[in-house]
């Protein structure tokens, strides 16, 4: 039976617009799942029709009902795969239209707990090295690789299992991919996925496909 995936993104910020990245992400998923794309955040309130949520949202402002639906979905056995901007838990829509982005002081604690980490900052886009550091189904068949992308500086909980790290001139040995469990569900996050080059990278695509397979096999 095919795995049903909901890819959720947005058009709020042009640098992560799902209209620009959605097709590349679907191609990256390949035959790991049948993917439906949405920008409707109310879909988070009831995810019963899906096996896995692929998160590519940047705007961190979710309603209580949306957070409740997401957390309940995972804890009851649903799969969550966050990609790149999914770890940005503080960016919000700016009140001043001349600003690109605004920020909230702290992430929603339930969202932060679900993910197991969060985005802090990033240097300029550049090429860097990614190395699998754990023998895990998500890293199966993934050799070390170089990728041109936006390298994310992240804060990660000590309880997650870090599977891949980067070697970057400004971010030495920083996590790139990690997994955790939440109730009966499985969570995986991959920090790559800003540039088209990264979305087309064989290393990223293997990580993403493995992540979907592992997370839905709980």
Give per-residue pLDDT as tens, 138-178: 999 998 999 999 999 999 999 999 999 998 887 778 899 99
Quote the CA–CA distance of 207 and 83 in Å, as a whole number. 11
Residue 72 dihedral angles phi and psi, to the nearest 5°: -65, -40
Asked if 132 contacts 167 with a C-beta cutoff of 8 angstroms, the reply is no
Q: Domain with 11 in it: what CATH number?
A: 3.40.50.880
Structure tokens at 8: 């959720």
Q: Which SS3 state, helix, strand or coil, does residue 176 take?
A: strand
Contacts of 194 (CB under 8 A, 6+ apart): 15, 16, 84, 85, 125, 149, 150
Structure tokens at 122: 């990033």
Is residue 99's pLDDT more than 80? no
What are the C-alpha distances in Å from 97 to residues 59, 166, 197? 15, 35, 30
Is residue 104's pLDDT more than 90? no
As for how many domains the chain has, the answer is 1
Query: Could you say which DSSP state residue 132 is in?
Result: E
Quote the CA–CA distance of 132 and 141 in Å, as a whole number. 10
Q: What is the pLDDT of residue 111?
A: 96
Q: What is the pLDDT of residue 32?
A: 98
Q: What is the pLDDT of residue 187?
A: 98
Tell whether the torsion through CA atoms of 67, 72, 78 and 80 is positive or negative.
positive
Determine the structural domain holding residue 56 and report its residue range. 4-215
- Residue whose structure tokens are 């009831």: 46
């Amino acid at each position: 039976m095919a795995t049903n995936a909901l890819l959720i993104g947005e058009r709020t910020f042009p640098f992560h617009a799902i209209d620009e990245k959605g097709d590349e992400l679907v191609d990256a998923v390949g035959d790991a799942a049948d993917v439906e794309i949405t920008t409707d955040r109310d879909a988070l309130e009831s995810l019963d029709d899906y096996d896995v949520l692929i998160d590519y949202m940047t705007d961190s402002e979710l309603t209580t009902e949306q957070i409740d639906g997401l957390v309940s979905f995972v804890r009851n056995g649903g799969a969550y795969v966050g990609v790149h901007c999914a770890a940005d838990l503080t960016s919000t829509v700016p009140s001043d239209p001349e600003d690109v982005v605004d920020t909230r002081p702290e992430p929603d604690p339930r969202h932060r707990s679900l993910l197991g980490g969060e985005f802090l900052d990033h240097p300029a886009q550049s090429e860097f090295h990614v190395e699998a550091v754990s023998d895990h189904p998500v890293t199966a068949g993934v050799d070390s690789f170089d990728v041109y992308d936006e390298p994310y500086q992240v804060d990660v909980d000590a309880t997650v299992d870090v599977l891949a790290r980067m070697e970057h001139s400004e971010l030495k040995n920083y996590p790139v991919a990690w997994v955790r469990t939440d109730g009966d569900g499985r969570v995986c996050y991959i920090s790559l996925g800003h540039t088209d080059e990264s979305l087309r990278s064989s290393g990223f695509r293997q990580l993403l496909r493995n992540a979907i397979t592992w997370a839905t096999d709980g």
